[in-house]
Amino acid sequence: MGKHRSLHHSPDVSIGGGGLAEAHETISLAPNEVRVADERRDCYCLYIATNCVSKWTRQKAIKEPGRFPWHEVNKVAHYFLEASSRTTT
């Protein structure tokens, strides 16, 4: 998912939202967002806007997004180079 942010958070309700460039893209959440969606199913909604590069469309709110089978994504966080491995040319 492209840009996303927590739109609202209170003791009663928590809402997450985000925008996708196209309608067929994958929705992705940060680990903390998935945890909150799962732990607070009764009061967490997810709002998605699609086609954000052209004429965006707000989709119907996804109530209780924690009920869906979210798949963990493992990514390479960064690359590193030991300073001692550099050679001078």
Mean pLDDT in the chain? 76
| DSSP letter string, 41-69 | GGGEEEEEEE-TTSS-EEPPPEESGGGS-
- 51-72, pLDDT tens digit by residue? 888 888 888 888 888 899 989 8
Element (H, E) at 11: none
Distance CA 73, CA 76 (A): 10
Task: Report the sign of the C-alpha dihedral through residues 32, 34, 37, 38, in that order.
Answer: negative
Determine if the pTM surpasses 0.75.
Answer: no
Domain hosting residue 58, numbered range: 4-85
- Number of folded domains in the chain? 1
- Is there a contact between 49 and 58 (Cβ–Cβ < 8 Å)? yes
